[in-house]
Amino acid sequence: MRKAANVDDYRELARARLPHFLFEYLDGGSYDEVTLAANMRDLRDVTLRQRVLRDVSKIDLTTELFGQKWSLPVGLCPIGLAGMYARRGEVQAARAARAAGVPFTLSSLSVCPVREIAGELQSPFWLQLYIIKDRGFVRDRLAQAGEAKCGALLLTVDLPVSGSRYRDHRSGLSGGTRMRRAIQALTRPRWAWDVGLQGRPHSLGNLEPVLGKDTGLEDYFGWIGANFDPSITWDDVDWVRANWDGPLIIKGILEPDVARAAVTNGVDGIVVSNHGGRQLDGASSTARALPSIAEAVDGKLPILVDGGVRSGLDVVRMIALGADFVLIGRAWAYALASRGEAGVTHVLKLIEAEMRVAMALTGCTTISGINAEIIDPRQR
Residue 378: its pLDDT value, please? 78
Give the number of other Cβ atoms within 10 Å of residue 124's Cβ. Answer: 18
Residue 2 lies in a domain: no
Which structural domain range is residue 122 located in?
7-379
| Catalytic annotation, pick one of 20, 169, 275, 346 | 275
275 is catalytic: yes
The CATH number of the domain holding residue 81 is 3.20.20.70
Taken in order 65, 70, 73, 78, is the CA torsion positive or negative? negative
Residue 1 lies in a domain: no
Please classify residue 176 by burial: count the beta carbons closer than 10 Å to its beta carbon, then call 0-12 exposed, 13-18 middle and 19+ buried: middle
- Please tell me the total count of domains within the chain: 1
Ranges of residues in the chain with a pLDDT under 70 are 1, 209-221, 380
Residue 39 lies in a domain: yes
Residue 105 lies in a domain: yes
The pTM is what?
A: 0.95
Residue 336: CA atoms inside 13 Å, Cβ hemisphere, count? 30
Residue 242 lies in a domain: yes
Residue 210: its pLDDT value, please? 65
Residue 218: its pLDDT value, please? 57
50 contacts 313 by C-beta, under 8 angstroms = no
Residue 331 lies in a domain: yes
Residue 298 lies in a domain: yes
Residue 13 lies in a domain: yes
Helix (H, G, I), strand (E, B) or coil at 28: coil
* Nearest of 173, 380, 367 to residue 290 by alpha carbon: 380
